[in-house]
Structure 1
Amino acid sequence: MALDLTTLLELERQLAHATNGDPYREILAPHARVVVPGFVLDRENCAMAMDASPGWDRVDFENEQLVRINSDAAALVYRFTGLRGDDRYIADMVSCYVDTSEGPRLVTHQHTMHWEGVELEV
């Protein structure tokens, strides 16, 4: 399967709409790392976190961009907005994929949370 914008966005949407960790176990490479605020997770810990988390009520992607690394690797960069009840989460995302015999696999993913509108305790 090609590492094109349409394909990688579809994989990201599968992850964003997941109701458990199974899509993470399938799409993430065995050695993958996911960096979210406060944590660096391997594939199974990320999937277990998703098993324990409620899904999003709504997700939106904006400004999606494909950054070619080489013929077998590409990064997808975009702005993510997720709504869960009255809570809103906005982050810039970077997902790096490699092409494998099983299809594209996510090897690294990072959230950079937007702090706009977030009150920090100092």
Structure 2
Amino acid sequence: MSRNLYQALLWVFGLGFAVAFNLVVMPALLRDGDILGGFAAGFVNPYASGYALDAILCWCVLASWVAWERSTLGIRHGWIALLLGIAPGVATGFAFYLLLRLRQQPGAAPGSPPT
């Protein structure tokens, strides 16, 4: 995969999720104004709970990765990805972090260890 295609896909997926989040979640949140209730709604049954736990733990994995690469590779501003991982969600935060990482490590292949 070319670097340009990789970047384009990250933008499409990251922004795509942000748009979907705003179309699906924001109207209900603005109508009800119940952030805690919205969070709890992710756990209404075992299937929803599985997806919610997956998203929460994916954010934890992303946070670990951001912290690790900050100390080992000097990747800066990863905290922005963690905020985006909370709202709109991990898909947007993760895509942002990969784009940020790619920009700060231009010679590195995506996900490759430092040489």
TM range (shorter): under 0.3
Q: Which has the higher strand share?
A: 1
More helix, by proportion: 2
Structure number with larger C-alpha Rg: 2
* Relative contact order higher in (CA < 8 Å, ≥ 6 apart): 2
